[in-house]
Amino acid sequence: MANLLTSSRGILLLSVILFAFVLLTTFPKYLEILADPSPYNTYSYFFHKVSEPLKAVPIAPDTHGSKIAFRLTVPLLAKLLYPGDFGSGRRIVILYLIQSFLLIPFFYILIKLLKRFTNSSTLLYFSIACSSVYLSKAFFWDYDFWFDGFAYFFLLLGMYFRNKAGIFIALQLACWTDERAVIALSSIYLFHLLQENSFSISSLRQLLNRESLKQRSFVVVLAGLAYGIVRMLLAYQFDLHTPFGENSGVALSLIPYQFKHRLIGIFLAFEGLWLLLLSAALLMYNQRKSLLLVLLSGILMLHIIVAYSVFDITRSLSYAFPVFIISGIYVSLNRTKVHQRIFLITAALCLLMPTQFLIYFPRQIPWTILSYTEIKNIYVSSTENEEGYISNNYKK
């Protein structure tokens, strides 16, 4: 299979194969929307956001809908796709299908990015590992209008692009999809900084100096600043805000309880990929790359703190995936006698471990190929709902 990586057509074919693997092993939970008689009413907060993107959603602060005040990318896309009536709301599934099919270019871009630094075998193992963890499953396992797949895709684009305008636009789209993407800007900044310095940072002067203002890495800083400024302006002008506090399910005070009862969530988010991160950290320690080790560890800790200050731990922590891309590249560039074996073991661990989604408690993500009954029930319910909807409209 490594031979596929020698051409763009082969990379595309491998991306489709990985997409098919994820589809077969991840039940597209959003299909359950088709079984709902009126998703427009069930998920009214999202349709309200689509209709009036810059108006606060009237909903309880402890719900997911209260957190989407500044998540504008997908609602604006929906407004573009559906300028008129939503009907019963089931057509909104098209947005989920778009997210799912974004996984093909996601893998394609990931492989092209890694190809700049790694050999074919290493790249293949890393791609397989990524296809087996929640990062890829999120493109299908979505049922409450999260759309993390969109954010992950745009973040990866921000890493892949070498054009400054492309980096800026991609990262803006990511940040306006979900605020957690803003935290990921730190790792994307580090990635571009490493690219500009032959993947080695040994001095604080390399982080920010007069010359760095002209580099691609500084565009990431500008993207973060632009997002912050525009967000404050929107908050002031349209009275938009994201609730904070224990009653809203977003609070730093939740961290001790979460650590005490849900510490396993740290491992479950990336499974075998942690082996790559630990290997990279060990290499940095042995090479006395203390500054790089501190930066990478600090960014990871920031992601963990954010993830454990909310209840959907797996979703939140998966935004740290650029840290693992950096780690994989670092291990590959600093080849040792066992580096190839490390990537193989990483892929094997990710493949063998059933993917768990942790929100309040771990839940195994079901496989599509083992979900015949669920798919059949959805089909029957959606057919009945469609007939009822047509009948009601005819009576009117």
In three state form, how does the secondary structure of the chain look?
CHHHHHCHHHHHHHHHHHHHHHHHCCCCHHHHHHHCCCHHHHCHHHHHHHHCCCCCCCCCCCCHHHHCCCCCHHHHHHHHHCCCCCCCCHHHHHHHHHHHHCHHHHHHHHHHHHHCCCCHHHHHHHHHHHHCCHHHHCCCCCCCCCCHHHHHHHHHHHHHCCCHHHHHHHHHHHHCCCCHHHHHHHHHHHHHHHHHCCCCCCCHHHCCCCHHHHCHHHHHHHHHHHHHHHHHHHHHHHCCCCCCEHHHCECHHHHHHHHHHHCHHHHHHHCCHHHHHHHHHHHHHHCCCHHHHHHHHHHHHHHHHHHCCCCEHHHHHHHHHHHHHHHHHHHHHCCCCCHHHHHHHHHHHHHHCCCEEEECEEEECCCHHHCHHHHHHHHHHHHHHHHHHHHHHHHC
Q: What's the pLDDT score for residue 387?
A: 53
Pairwise CA distance, residues 182 & 87, whole Å:
34
Q: Is the sign of the CA dihedral 117, 121, 124, 128 positive or negative?
A: negative
Q: What is the mean pLDDT of residues 166-188?
A: 98
Range of the domain at 311: 2-395
Q: What is the mean pLDDT of residues 108-115?
A: 97
Q: What's the pLDDT score for residue 307?
A: 97
Q: 250 has which bridge partners?
A: 245
Beta-carbon count within 10 A of 320 CB: 25
Among 44-58, 199-213, 256-270, 359-373, name the one with the lowest average pLDDT. Answer: 199-213
Q: How many domains does the chain have?
A: 1
Q: What is the pTM of this model?
A: 0.95
Q: 361 has which bridge partners?
A: 359
Among residues 132, 136, 146, the alpha carbon closest in space to that of 30 is found at: 146
Q: What's the pLDDT score for residue 395?
A: 42
Q: What is the mean pLDDT of residues 77-99?
A: 88
Task: Please state, rounded to an integer, the average pLDDT across all residues of the chain.
Answer: 92
pLDDT at 121 exceeding the cut of 80: yes
Q: What's the pLDDT score for residue 290?
A: 94
Q: Which two tokens stand for residue 211?
A: 């010359």
Q: 356 has which bridge partners?
A: 364
Pairwise CA distance, residues 228 & 220, whole Å:
13
Pairwise CA distance, residues 163 & 358, whole Å:
37
Task: Say what percent of the chain tops pLDDT 70.
Answer: 97
Pairwise CA distance, residues 26 & 246, whole Å:
32
Instruction: Please write the tens of the pLDDT for every residue from 328-375.
Output: 999 999 887 788 899 999 999 999 999 999 988 899 999 999 999 999
Q: What is the mean pLDDT of residues 122-133?
A: 96
Q: What is the mean pLDDT of residues 162-177?
A: 98
Q: What's the pLDDT score for residue 205?
A: 81
